[in-house]
């Protein structure tokens, strides 16, 4: 079982930046691919970014490529999402996601979710 706790959301003006953090509690963090997803009002939850167990491989949705960076610190059991050049379309609840240990990082979410953190971008 893995518990995920997100933090770092908030209100930011368009063009600004935020960094989200996700602390993972449980076993085998360094063996677990991690990801970020988001859900805007009235829309389905969508893939944002994922990172491999080692952190060497990352994948991004086209809508955030070049603006967002996913990273991880296995010593701290934490995954991050640095978000730059934010725009109003990035407004959503952002969710941290974990795969089962040793699964490959893909755009398909794993079974473990955090509670979400709200990101609101004002124009």
Q: pLDDT for 9-48, tens place per residue? A: 999 999 999 999 999 998 789 999 999 999 999 999 999 9
Which two tokens mark 26?
């449980």
Burial class (CB in 10 A: 0-12, 13-18, 19+), 59: middle
Which two tokens mark 94?
């952002």
pLDDT at 34: 97
pLDDT at 27: 77
pLDDT at 52: 96
Q: pLDDT for 39-62, tens place per residue? A: 999 999 999 999 999 999 999 999
**Residue burial 8-30, b: 16+ Cβ < 10 Å; e: rest:** bbeebeeeeebebbbbbeeeebe
Tell me how far apart the 2 most distant CA atoms of the chain are, in Å: 41
Question: Do 49 and 59 form a contact (C-beta atoms < 8 A)?
Answer: yes
Which two tokens mark 90?
């990035």
Q: pLDDT for 67-105, tens place per residue? A: 999 999 999 999 999 999 999 999 999 999 999 989 888
Question: Taking the CB of residue 54, how many other CB atoms lie within 10 A of it?
Answer: 12
């Amino acid at each position: 079982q893995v518990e995920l706790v997100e933090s770092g959301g908030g209100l930011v003006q368009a063009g600004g930046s935020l960094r989200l953090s996700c602390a993972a509690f449980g076993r085998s963090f360094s063996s677990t691919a991690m990801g970020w997803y988001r859900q805007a009002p009235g829309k389905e939850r969508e893939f944002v970014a994922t990172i491999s167990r080692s952190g060497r491989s990352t994948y991004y949705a086209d809508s955030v490529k070049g603006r967002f960076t996913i990273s991880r610190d296995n010593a701290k059991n934490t995954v991050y999402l640095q978000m730059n050049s934010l725009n109003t379309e990035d407004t959503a609840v952002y969710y941290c996601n974990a795969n089962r240990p040793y699964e490959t990082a893909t755009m398909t979410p794993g079974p473990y979710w955090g509670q979400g953190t709200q990101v609101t971008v004002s124009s």
